């Protein structure tokens, strides 16, 4: 009541700035909050507490209650702006904006406000009809859009999925009855469109992600990604370039955390090594905050016991090791929630992740001298919140690229990583490539983005689909299992998915393969999808 009185005494709120939670809450107005509610103490929803868990170093540390302005208090503001950024906000933004107002989604009450605006980035807006299926909104030219190859692929796959029918079985009537008359009038008969889209999807499938030896150089992927539909005629062709495609290729796989490489592209990783390429893997961060204290204590005690077991031999310094272990043990016993680990504990956790990554890379076929640990400085805060990318991060990345001079780069494109590390790591690679763009090797370097740990590419986005056999899926799983500290339950598994990372990866890869199968393409056990980065 005092808070409400203070608002009234100040003449009301001129501008209310809001975020939106995964349950659709504004403030902490959880599902069921009535539109006339006022400032009050509220019990937090389980989903909200789970979302906040990483900021409190565990859900058990998250408060169960919070004080929030009510929905009615917010609606009294003269102007309201809601900010939402990132792929993980897309589903709830779509519910709040496009579905009927409901007390189950408190943000939907803003539809009734006379001056409310949602400010979104492209990722958070991705669930809106305007982006999911713009052809349902109206003719594309009225939206300032045109039928590019990518949009045609998206529309045809959407239609095939909606009707649960292979691409080559779609008819003119199907297009007309589902809001795609504009596509027919622009690009011609369903028969021709179906064949073009089917072939473009078929062309994405490649069992040789690094290219085959002796094959002429082609601008396959960049040509397809840049192609446009011009009236009823699509630009086509994959022009030959002078000489053979380089083989074997020098390849750098960037992994934001020490396990992202095998989780997201483990099958392709193994295949690139088996097919004879010079594969380097660069672990961009130490991943040290994602190790349980108990695991670090166990490894520290192992070192202590190891030295005692070999006392009297060339192994010495047992007193110094015991002192370090005692400091770690004492800190863990007295550690308050959210405290930054002491340097010794951070070092042990980083070594755990490093040895796990090395074991997984070896299993995948990478030589020890091609395993690189970058330890980018932006990450080393000891906290969930990291520093912005800096010149030193980019310089470290540049040095590796200049040393290897790769023909191919693979980097993480699943930007739904809840702590933003993937986004910053990708920014460091793109910034480095920008600095090196005039280097001779960089002009012909393919830059691929993978997903898998947190999200998957939509089928219309995929430029290269690498099929996996049942045996390759099993081998990928074994590589993921080398990351023992992340098994069973990782310290930061994300709030939305209870599955282990290997389960997420397999489910997503199988779902992609099933989508290709339903579209009328060959059936595989699993598929890892990649998108070509265009700067």
Strands (E), 358-514: 371-373, 408-412, 446-450, 464-468
Q: Which residues contact 311 (CB under 8 A, 6 or more apart)?
A: 318
Extract the tokens encoding 452: 């898998």
Extract the tokens encoding 411: 């980097």
For the question of residue 30 being annotated catalytic, the response is yes
Extract the tokens encoding 315: 């192994």
Taking a C-beta distance cutoff of 8 angstroms, is the pair 210, 249 a contact?
A: yes
- DSSP secondary structure letters along 354-391: HHHHHHHHHHHT--GGGEEE---GGGTTSSSS-PPP-H
Radius of gyration (C-alpha) of the chain in whole angstroms = 26
Taking a C-beta distance cutoff of 8 angstroms, is the pair 287, 315 a contact?
A: no
Taking a C-beta distance cutoff of 8 angstroms, is the pair 396, 433 a contact?
A: no
> CB-hemisphere CA count at 13 Å for 351?
13
- DSSP secondary structure letters along 180-233: -HHHHHHH--HHHHHHHHHHHHHHHB-S-TT--TTPEEE-HHHHHHH-BEETTE
Query: CA angle 303-491-284, nearest 5°?
Result: 75
- Alpha-carbon gap, residue 437 to 431, rounded angstroms: 10
Helical (H) or strand (E) element with 7: helix 2-9
Count other Cβ atoms within 10 Å, centred on residue 158: 20
Catalytic residue among 1, 5, 30, 525: 30
- Alpha-carbon gap, residue 249 to 336, rounded angstroms: 49
Specify the pairing of strand 233-234 against strand 278-283: unpaired
Task: State how far the alpha carbon of 470 is from the alpha carbons of 430, 441, 452, 456, in Å.
Answer: 34, 36, 18, 20
Task: State how far the alpha carbon of 183 is from the alpha carbons of 123, 149, 202, 228, in Å.
Answer: 25, 11, 21, 14
Instruction: Measure CA of the first residue to CA of the last residue in the chain; give whole Å.
Output: 53
Q: Which long-range contacts (CB under 8 A, 24 or more apart) does 224-227 make?
A: 224/149, 224/200, 224/463, 225/150, 225/463, 225/532, 225/534, 226/534, 227/149
- Alpha-carbon gap, residue 355 to 462, rounded angstroms: 33
Extract the tokens encoding 330: 């004492």
List helix spans (H) across 243-316: 260-274, 293-309
Q: Which residues contact 302 (CB under 8 A, 6 or more apart)?
A: none
3-state class (DSSP) for residue 336? coil
Active-site residue numbers? 30
């Amino acid at each position: 009541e005092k808070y409400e009185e203070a608002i009234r005494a100040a003449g009301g709120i001129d501008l209310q700035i809001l975020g939106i939670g995964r349950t659709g809450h504004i403030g902490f107005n959880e599902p069921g909050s009535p539109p006339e509610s006022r400032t009050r103490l509220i019990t937090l929803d389980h989903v909200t507490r789970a979302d906040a868990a990483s900021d409190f170093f565990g859900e058990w540390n998250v408060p169960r209650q919070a004080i929030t302005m009510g929905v009615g208090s917010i609606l009294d503001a003269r102007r309201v702006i809601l900010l939402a950024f990132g792929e993980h906000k897309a589903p709830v933004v779509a519910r709040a904006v496009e579905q009927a107002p409901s007390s189950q989604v408190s943000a939907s009450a803003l539809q009734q406000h006379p001056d409310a605006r949602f400010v979104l980035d492209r990722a958070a807006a991705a669930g809106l009809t305007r982006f999911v299926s713009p052809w349902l909104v109206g003719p594309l030219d009225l939206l300032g859009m045109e039928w590019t190859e990518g949009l045609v692929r998206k529309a045809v796959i959407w239609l095939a999925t909606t009707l649960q029918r292979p691409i080559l079985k779609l008819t003119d009537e199907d297009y007309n009855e589902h809001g795609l008359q504009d596509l027919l009038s622009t690009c011609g008969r369903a028969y021709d469109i179906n064949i073009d889209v089917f072939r473009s999807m078929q062309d994405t499938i490649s069992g040789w992600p690094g290219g085959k030896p002796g094959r002429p150089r082609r601008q396959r992927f960049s040509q397809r990604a840049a192609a446009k539909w011009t009236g009823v005629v699509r630009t086509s062709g994959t022009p030959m370039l002078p000489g053979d495609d380089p083989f074997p290729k020098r390849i750098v796989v960037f992994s934001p955390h020490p396990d992202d490489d095998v989780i997201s592209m483990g099958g392709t990783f193994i295949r690139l090594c088996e097919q004879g390429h010079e594969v380097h893997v660069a672990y961009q961060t130490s991943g040290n905050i994602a190790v349980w204290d108990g695991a670090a204590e166990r490894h520290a005690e192992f070192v202590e016991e190891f030295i005692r077991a070999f006392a009297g031999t060339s192994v010495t310094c047992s007193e110094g090791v015991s002192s370090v272990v005692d400091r770690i043990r004492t800190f863990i016993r007295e550690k308050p929630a959210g405290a930054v680990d002491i340097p010794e504990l951070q070092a042990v956790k980083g070594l755990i992740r490093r040895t796990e990554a090395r074991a997984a890379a070896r299993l995948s076929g990478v030589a020890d001298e091609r395993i690189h640990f970058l330890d980018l400085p932006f990450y080393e805060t000891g906290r969930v919140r990291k520093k912005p990318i800096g010149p030193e991060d980019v310089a470290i990345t540049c040095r590796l690229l200049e040393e290897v001079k790769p023909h191919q780069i693979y980097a993480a494109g699943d930007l739904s990583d809840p702590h933003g590390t993937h986004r910053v790591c990708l920014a460091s690679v793109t910034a480095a490539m920008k600095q090196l763009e005039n280097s001779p090797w960089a002009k012909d370097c393919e830059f691929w983005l993978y997903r898998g740990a947190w999200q998957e590419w939509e089928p219309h986005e995929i430029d290269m689909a690498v099929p996996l056999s049942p045996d390759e899926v099993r081998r990928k799983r074994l590589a993921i299992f080398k990351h023992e500290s992340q098994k069973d339950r990782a310290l930061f598994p994300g709030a939305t998915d209870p599955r282990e990372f290997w389960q997420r990866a397999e489910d997503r890869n199988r779902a992609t393969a099933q989508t290709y199968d339903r579209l009328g393409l060959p059936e595989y056990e699993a598929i890892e999808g990649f998108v070509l980065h265009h700067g």
